[in-house]
Chain A
Amino acid sequence: MTALLCCGLSFAHHGVAALGAASLEGPGAPLETSSSATLPEGSWLFYLKLDHVKWKKYSFQDFPDQKSTYDFWMYGLGYGVKPWLSLYLFVPYYVKKELKSINGDPTQGQYSYTNSDFADISLMAVLGFKYDRGFRLVPKKESLDDLMDWHFTLYGGLSLPTGNPNKYDRARDPKGEFEPDMSTGFGKPAITLGFTATKQLVSLPRLTFVFDTNYIKFFENTYNFRESPDAPRKKYKFGDEFRLNTALAYRLYTNAERKFRADALLEANFQYNQRDKEDGVKLEGSGGKILYGVLGTRLYYKNISAGLGVKVPVWKKLNEESQQQGAEGKEKYRLILTLSALF
């Protein structure tokens, strides 16, 4: 088993669309790395993200059951309580597809098992501050020159177990098969803490550097599943996740009349996943370290921002790589699409 529910908890509050000239000339925003942008006081952000994951597949003789594709949809709503405090609500919807061998025998062919549903909703608070002749909270108004200062955020989030962790594939076994990584809920809240830093270069204002690190803490959940009627209920804990992301956003083109801007994005996202635990025992075939590369673009039009990118693992050291089909690091690619609008 591997921890695969990542994207619901990475609180992608980045990619904020902007208003006015700041969007045309202000700092850029990557796709996966959270920028230090906060929402203007009193404004609303509507956010949509798709993270489409295509897993590498292998011989069904070696892997009778294989993850096929995951679609992590994320619907988000943000509000600028203060210029330095933004609150977000995220509602994820997951579609997870797996190809499984009939009766566990690859020679009999495969069937597709899909689990799709709304997943655990999450809440997040972002505190923005900056360095401008001393540290201070992000003010209500900033000039284009102010936006070139170092900006930072501290963010914290909590997911609530609104998804269903107890849906099982019963095609081969009437009591179901225990696959927590195919579920759409964790069963328990998870906590995220993170920090971002953003700098638009004074000497080269077209270029913005973004740094983001975060930690996600999962808690053990007791599932409804029992191996046999008199066996205890299964316990499972996903391994905690640590991320360290950096990104460069380069402003390629602006058209002030049409209020349009296009950026090129390049990201390096490091991720460390702890081993999962089943019934308190560390699980083989889980966890590891991955370095992803992301190449993408972000387009701005008036108060709307759209992002598109491809994310691939460029380096990995998984704990038992040969057993980890469908684990993070074993993607063929991830296609990322975002759309946000600020009102």
Chain B
Amino acid sequence: MKRFFLPLILSSLSMSHDLWVEREGSQYALYYGHLHPVQGEEKFIKYKPEDVLKFECVSSGGKPLQYKFEKSYPARLKGSCGAVLAVFSSGYWTKSVEGLKNLPKDRVQGAIEGWLSYESVKRIDSWSQELKKPLTDDLEIVPLENPLEAKVGDKLTFAVYYRGKPLKDAVVAYDEKPVGSTDDDGRINIRIKRKGLQLISTSVKEKADGVKADYVVKTANLSFEVK
């Protein structure tokens, strides 16, 4: 018994909201909020369209495909995709004596600490072995077996990559609940607990310039449907 500590970052900052992609007919819609809201939480939190930095469509082999991106709320993507990728930033956040503000640290009086937030989500809709590898150089979670064939109760292995390399000791959450941290090969096992859209998340925290923010928080989500 042992094995991992929970960095505070996971619960207090980056994982407080979910970023996910819903399939709506032939379109994909990007949502922010709480995928599984509990009492007092809103499911959807409206964001500014410009907060969406990227929304792309790729084949199951990871190759870029043609798509149409509508910069709106919610951001929409039309295309026949094996997987979709989105990057989102809610910008600078500063904790101050007057509470949390969505501003850079140098514009907040009585600032305690500040961070710049980036979140990404990858939704997989068709499987190929290529998806066992990361599609980007940024923080990314990959399934090491076909998650679309998984049933409730199955245990699947995932790997976390950052800058193209496996990331060890990364805390991983399933449905917002931390389930452990990655091993030396960046791997972690997670048991599927329910049907529907799955959301697996991890985050890293890096030092920033110290003026606008003390650190940068990057959160990556992996999403897929279990029938």
Contacts and interface: CB of A to CB of B under 8 A. Distances in A.
Nearest to B188: A143
Interface stretch (B23-31, B43-51, B120-128, B178-186): B178-186
A39 B2 CA distance: 8
Nearest to A43: B2
Contacts of B184: 140-141
Interface string A137-173: 0011111111110000000000000000000000000
Interface in A1-40: 16-23, 26-27, 29, 37, 39-40
A19 B189 contact: no
11 contacts: A19-B2, A21-B178, A23-B2, A40-B3, A132-B189, A140-B183, A141-B3, A143-B172, A143-B180, A143-B188, A143-B189
Contacts of A39: 2
A202 B3 contact: no
Interface residues of B, number: 20
Contact of A23 (B1, B153, B188): B1
Interface residues of A, number: 29
Given A20-B6, A132-B155, A133-B155, A143 B1 contact: no
Contacts of A146: 155, 180, 189
A196 B99 CA distance: 51
Nearest to A203: B153
Contact of B179 (A27, A143, A202, A342): A143
Listed from nearest, the 7 A-B pairs whose CB atoms lie closest are A143-B180, A18-B1, A40-B2, A145-B191, A141-B183, A20-B5, A143-B179
Given A143-B188, A145-B155, A202-B191, A19 B5 contact: yes
Interface of A: 16-23, 26-27, 29, 37, 39-40, 43, 132-133, 139-148, 202, 342
A144 B179 contact: yes
B4 interface: yes
A145 B190 contact: yes
A142 B180 contact: yes
A22 B190 contact: no
A331 B99 CA distance: 61
Contacts of A37: 1
B1 A27 contact: yes
B1 A16 contact: yes
Given A18-B1, A19-B1, A145-B191, 7 more contacts: A21-B180, A37-B1, A143-B179, A143-B188, A145-B180, A145-B190, A202-B153
